Amino acid sequence: MHEPSQIIMQIDNLYLAFGGVEALSGVSLEVRKGEILGVIGPNGAGKTSFLNCVNGFYRPYKGKIYFEGSHITDLPPYKIASLGISRTFQHIELYTGLNTLDNLMAARHSLMKSGALAGMLYFGKSHQEEIRHRQAVEDIINLLELEPIRKKVVGALPYGQRKKVDLARALAMKPKLLLLDEPMAGMNVEEKEDMARYVIDVHELQRIPIVLVEHDMGVVMDIADRVIVLDFGKKIAEGTPAEIKTNPEVIKAYLGSALAQA
């Protein structure tokens, strides 16, 4: 067990069901400060359902979620986001009619303190706050190399670039914990390599703990510090990438013997 001070999120005995189908069955895990935690498993294993419980989209019927020591299981999504938990989505959820810059500025909304009147008049503290938020967004644009598309309408961008904007928007919320739901899904090899590099850069430069749900096992094994394996809603394994590769239950459920021998 790790010291409580090193744990940013604790999941205790989580159960989630849709009708008679259990999506999660007694899942318990912890997310530690400064780590990349990979969550893997076959289709239908409960990976996205787990993330949806964490950020309040789904309400588990049993179990508890703690973030920085506070119970958040019953909080609505906007309150969970305001605590510092942000995410990307498997199916990209951007403002497709806005450009990249405006999508990122929209994500700063929960961090803005000026009232509506000050914002409309745009003077004093409101003006200074706008400058600070724009600088934070520009830093993210530089980090993820989005300058060429900063003024382009997101709905017209190629899929891989929209995935980058989705990551950038999650970062614009100034997260304490970042949830990535298959950030490399649908990408070609070059785009996957770039995205993996961006995830590593974010982790190393900003020291944000990351929960990474991803189907590309090569990526997970390369960049994750620990890996959790789900199968039919249950946690069947937990350990380092090296331990997961050789775990018989994991091989049987998902990975196949070829990866274990790699």
Amino acid at 206: Q
CA distance 179 to 214: 11
Q: Is 179 exposed, middle or buried (0-12, 13-18, 19+ CB in 10 A)?
A: buried
Average pLDDT of the residues in 226-235: 93
Count of alpha carbons within 13 Å of 57, Cβ hemisphere only?
A: 10
Q: What was the pLDDT predicted at 223?
A: 94
Q: What is the pTM of this model?
A: 0.87
Length of the chain: 262
* Percent of the chain whose pLDDT exceeds 70: 88
Domains and CATH numbers, the chain: 1-84+175-262 (3.40.50.300), 99-173 (no CATH)
Instruction: Tell me the pLDDT tens digit for each residue of 60-80.
Output: 999 999 999 999 999 999 999
pLDDT of 259 reads 47
**Phi, psi at 32, each rounded to 5°:** -100, 150
3-class secondary structure, 95: coil
What is the chain's mean pLDDT, rounded? 87
* DSSP label of 55: T
Name residue 213's beta-bridge partners.
Answer: 39, 181
Residue 160 CA to residue 173 CA, distance in Å, equals 21
Return d(Cα 215, Cα 197) in angstroms, integer: 17
> Is residue 8 scored above 80 in pLDDT?
yes
